[in-house]
A = this chain, B = another copy of it.
Amino acid sequence: MGRWQPGARERLEQAALDLFLEQGFTETTVPQITARAGLTTRTFFRHFADKREVLFAGEESVPERVARFMAEAPPSLGPMELISENLAPAAAEIFEGRSLDYLLRRRAAIDAEPALHERELRKFSLMSQALEQGFRARGVDELTAQLAAEVAVTTLRIAVTRWLNQHGDPGLPATIDQTLAAMRHLTNTPSA
């Protein structure tokens, strides 16, 4: 078994997530994962750069999709307009094909392990960099582009967290809208 069996990557992802939830990330060794998937250790590292990456596969294309998304938007839209109108559809595209159950299990594994949490922070950082580039390509000045990118990513991240915490109760678009509204309300509050 294993050699030339299709879906090696998927089998590794499945086995890894199961084991991480069963006995923890640190306690799970790569040989354990590959044994369950019917492969060898060396093959694991041919599919994934490191042990954490098995939970983040297939997300490498998000930044470039973000860039394309922004390039196709009407040039007249300001940064906040762009975020308001396109954050929800972009998020939907990112999560398409992933079941809520998988997302919740994945979330549980990530929350239990600081190393995985760090990897997720990098994912959002990369997304923010792509957004910043997109804003700058639309003529936004550097500082505003940085801030707008961070606002978008932060809003998305918090909204997704809340959405998952409620087991997907209000839809993701509705949660995003709520979060964006709260962000506006917060920053529009007069200060001092």
Binding site for B on A (CB under 8 A): 78-81, 83-85, 114, 117-119, 121-122, 125, 143-144, 146-148, 150-151, 154-155, 158, 162, 178-179, 182-189, 191-192
Contacts and interface: CB of A to CB of B under 8 A. Distances in A.
A79 B185 CA distance: 11
B121 A192 contact: no
Q: Is the interface of A mostly helix, strand, loop or mixed?
A: helix
Contact of A186 (B79, B84, B162, B185): B79
A79 B154 contact: no
Contacts of A83: 191
Given A121-B121, A143-B178, 19 more contacts: A79-B186, A80-B186, A80-B191, A81-B189, A84-B191, A114-B122, A117-B122, A117-B125, A118-B122, A121-B125, A143-B182, A144-B185, A146-B158, A147-B155, A147-B182, A150-B158, A151-B183, A183-B187, A187-B188
A178 B146 CA distance: 13
23 contacts: A79-B189, A80-B187, A80-B191, A81-B191, A81-B192, A117-B122, A118-B118, A121-B125, A143-B178, A143-B182, A144-B182, A144-B186, A147-B154, A147-B179, A147-B182, A147-B183, A147-B186, A148-B186, A150-B158, A151-B154, A151-B187, A184-B187, A188-B188
Contacts of A158: 143, 146-147, 150
Nearest to A83: B191
B78 A189 contact: yes
A88 to B, nearest CB: 13
Contacts of A125: 117, 121
Q: Which of A83, A85, A146, A191 has the largest number of chain B CB atoms within 10 A?
A: A191
